Structure 1
Amino acid sequence: MTTTDLDGGPDRGPQPPRALIVTLLGLYVRELGGWISVSGLIRLMAAAGVDEQAVRSALTRLKRRGIVESERRGGVAGYALSTYAGRVLELGDRRIFAARPDSERDWVVVVFSVPESERQRRHTLRARLSWLGFGTVASGVWIAPGHLAQDTREALLAEGLEPYVDLFRAEYLAFGDPVAKVAQWWDLDALEQLYDDFLDAHGPALRRWGRAGAEVPSGAEAFADHLRALTAWRRLPYLDPGLPTDLLPEDWSGTRAAETFFALHHTLAGPAHDFVTAQAAASRPG
């Protein structure tokens, strides 16, 4: 399970309201007790440039997917996070905000075989491994850096896919150049383009707020920039397995994208949090 499962997977172009709402749920609503009023959510999303109709439409879709549940508190209409969504978001914290090891040389290898009669399970397994960041060595043999072993084990167990899989830790001994092999196993060009897109979209916000002598961002502005940056960023740690730097192309844009995201997060998280807390408090029952 990944946080992208909650909002329907990656999108290119403008961020859909459902993805922004999932980010808000994961970053703030869990801290607020797992519930937020409809009016509070609409007000917060308006600060991010999303109109009320789009918010209500996205909430309907998220409710249908089992991400949120309608719940009234003190006569106030609102939405609560489902148990499923809470579990996925908790697991996502580790992947999205954790620092990646930079020098490890062990690998986790998945070898699987799924009967033709269970073709859908094969599709699910491949999709899950892709979202975990695995590369493809051969049909039925997928590989990722060793630090993903625990995430992989948990994901396969959660999906009931373990009967089809053997899971190994491994060391690459021979016979190719590891840098060339990594470029075969992963589509690094496509991944770097995603990082470049992130830098193009969110680098200006860091230059605006992070330069020396910059004004302190207002709560609403901090919230909007933080929400959009995190919504764009939270997909990338699932697509990027966190390969050692010396196996990546020179001037890897993923490094600059990570620095940009964490600098924005450090700058904007405080005022954004205060803004959300104030807006949510104004709409809570009683």
Structure 2
Amino acid sequence: MGGAPDRGAVRRSAGVAVVSPFEIEEIFPDVAVGSRLPRRQQGTSAQALAATLIADYTLPDRVWLPSAAIVALLVESGVSSGAARTAISRLMRRGVLESSREGRHSSHRLTVDAAGELLAGGAWIARFGDRDRVWDGYWTLVAFSLPEEQSARRRSLRAELRWLGFAPLYDGLWVSPDEVNPTVERRLGAVAFGALTVFRARQEDLAVEVSRNPVDAWDLPAIAGHYQRFDERWRPLLPQVRQGEIAGAPAVHARTQIMDAYRRIPLLDPQLPTELLPAGWPRSQARDLFVAVYDGLAGPAEKHVRAVVSQAAAASRADAVRAQTVVRLAATGTS
């Protein structure tokens, strides 16, 4: 991606929301996403879990998985067999999965559209926090004014701004440290044509303390708290991962859970330049923890998924199963 990851580049590609699709509508419900990937419910829905499991072990080649194997993996993760079959059916209706049949046995794989979206989102998640960004000191400001009777349009604009990485410094003035690109202009113009002004500027330090720092537009303590909870949940698992004590279904389940937890972080942390953040900001620490667990369990998890698939299909199909890793994810997708 060149330099620090551009928070908006992957988000804006082709006008499709491509990162963490299970989380997008939960956090920004007014944003229309480009796919029909499942919304994340309380905890993790069976549909979201199924899509994550399939993506983790079949991308980028869109390997076919027997329906029986998908159901078995979901059951191991605490989903009932009935709910697992329902989740698969609903993902097919959404256009996330496609199916094939050989006699009495059916198989499923991700559709081209869903695979592309998940690959792009996975690549951005994998690159998130991998290096410090270079910042020129300029802020992008969006000023807008919409009448009260256009409340729905105002909500859509605010949701779009949040999705693009902006935060409200004041009610009608939103800020971002990122530069503007044509796609941002197009997306904002679609919801607020003729009602906003965009400009780039530096903050002036006044002699008296009457100005508000743009960084105050983000609730950094709340974001730091999310990082802390992530660390408290997953760091105790590291010794077991490093000693090879987690295998089989628990390895698959842990990888799915930590991906589900970590992919929310890039939506909450705007990846502000280091000079704007408190000392010891935990972004890189959280990324290192995620990599250690997710990649550390890739081998045993892949072995288990292959074993489950081999019970329901030919060995050649099981051999095509391959666990994703952060390195592989970062190398896929384009921004």
TM score, norm. by length of structure 2: 0.67
- The 2-side partners of 1:155 and 1:21 are apart by 35
Distance 1:68 1:204, change over 3 A: same
Task: Count matched residues.
Answer: 278
Structure 1, unmatched stretches of 5+, are: none
The one of 20, 26, 30 aligned to 1:9: 26
- The 1-side partners of 2:153 and 2:87 are apart by 28
Distance 1:108 1:252, change over 3 A: same
Which deviates more, 236-245 or 135-144?
135-144
Structure 1 residue 28 and structure 2 residue 57: aligned?
yes
The one of 81, 101, 104 aligned to 1:73: 101
User: Would you say the 8 A contact 2:164–2:184 is kept in 1?
Assistant: no
Map Cα deviations across residues 192-251 of structure 1 (whole Å, 9 max, x no partner): 2222221222222223213xxx13532433222111101111111122111123322233
The one of 199, 203, 212 aligned to 1:173: 203
Shift in Å, 1:67: 4.7
Structure 1 residue 123 and structure 2 residue 155: aligned?
yes
Give the percent of matched residue pairs that are identical in Structure 1 and Structure 2.
28
Paired amino acid for 1:209: V
Structure 1 residue 249 and structure 2 residue 244: aligned?
no
User: Would you say the 8 A contact 1:145–1:241 is kept in 2?
Assistant: no
Partner of 1:218: 247
> Larger % of helix: which?
1
Paired amino acid for 1:279: V
User: Would you say the 8 A contact 1:110–1:165 is kept in 2?
Assistant: no
- SS of residue matched to 1:136: strand
Distance 1:153 1:117, change over 3 A: farther
Structure 1 residue 104 and structure 2 residue 121: aligned?
no
Counting only pairs closer than 5 Å after superposition, residues 83-162 of structure 1 correspond to structure 2 as: 83-100=112-129, 101-106=131-136, 107-111=139-143, 119-146=151-178, 153=183, 157=187, 161=191
TM score, norm. by length of structure 1: 0.76
- SS of residue matched to 1:196: helix
Paired amino acid for 2:247: S
Distance 1:249 1:19, change over 3 A: farther
User: Would you say the 8 A contact 1:37–1:283 is kept in 2?
Assistant: yes
Distance 1:164 1:27, change over 3 A: farther
Which deviates more, 100-109 or 34-43?
100-109
Partner of 1:197: 229
Which deviates more, 237-246 or 26-35?
26-35
User: Would you say the 8 A contact 2:19–2:125 is kept in 1?
Assistant: no
Which deviates more, 70-79 or 256-265?
70-79
Paired amino acid for 2:228: D
User: Would you say the 8 A contact 2:57–2:302 is kept in 1?
Assistant: yes
- SS of residue matched to 2:26: coil
- SS of residue matched to 1:174: coil
- The 1-side partners of 2:291 and 2:283 are apart by 12
Shift in Å, 1:19: 2.9
- SS of residue matched to 2:78: coil
The one of 57, 72, 87 aligned to 1:43: 72
Map Cα deviations across residues 107-143 of structure 1 (whole Å, 9 max, x no partner): 4444556677765454334224324443222334333
Paired amino acid for 1:173: Q
User: Would you say the 8 A contact 2:65–2:108 is kept in 1?
Assistant: yes
- The 1-side partners of 2:292 and 2:116 are apart by 27
- The 1-side partners of 2:194 and 2:56 are apart by 35
- The 2-side partners of 1:25 and 1:160 are apart by 34
Paired amino acid for 2:300: P
Paired amino acid for 2:52: T
Structure 2, unmatched stretches of 5+, are: 1-16, 28-39, 318-335
